[in-house]
Amino acid sequence: QPDSSPGYCWPFQGSQSEVLIQLPAKIRPTAITVQHTLKTDSPRRTVSSAPRDFTVFGLDEEGKDETLLGTLTYAAQEEPIQTFPLQDEMRDFRFLKLVIQSNWGKPGYTCIYRVQVHG
C-alpha cells in the first residue's frame, strides 16, 4: 500500500536525478501524476525536497530512442497530487524515463511519494 506519510518517499540523491519506469504493458501515455506530501504534514513545514522541473520521455523497447512527452513543473505551493497531460505521440511505450532537473531547494535529495502513468 502506498504511504504518503512524511519520510516514506522515493528519494533521489541531489536535486537532479532520473529513473526508468517499466510499465506492465505497452500503453499510449496521456498523463502522469506526481505526488509529494503536504507542507502542513511535513515536520519542518517545508516541501523543499519536492521535484520542481522535470521531463518525461517515452523509450522504445531497446531503451535507445527517446521521445519527449513533456517538460513539466510541479508546483509545491499547490495540491500534493498533481496530474500533467503528456504530448500525444500516437504510439505506445513500455518504458518511461522521468528526469528531475531541479527541486524546491533541498540540496541533499529530492523526494517523490508516488508516480502514476495514465494511458
10 in Cβ contact with 112 (< 8 Å): yes
How open is the CA angle 20-17-49, to the nearest 5 degrees? 120
110 in Cβ contact with 58 (< 8 Å): no
Domains of the chain in start order, with CATH, are 10-118 (2.60.120.260)
pLDDT for res 4 = 60
Tens digits of pLDDT across the chain (119 residues): 556 666 678 888 888 889 999 999 999 999 999 998 766 555 566 688 899 999 999 998 777 789 999 999 999 888 999 999 999 888 999 999 999 999 998 888 899 888 999 99
| Region at 45 (left for phi over 0; alpha for psi -120 to 50; beta for the rest) | left
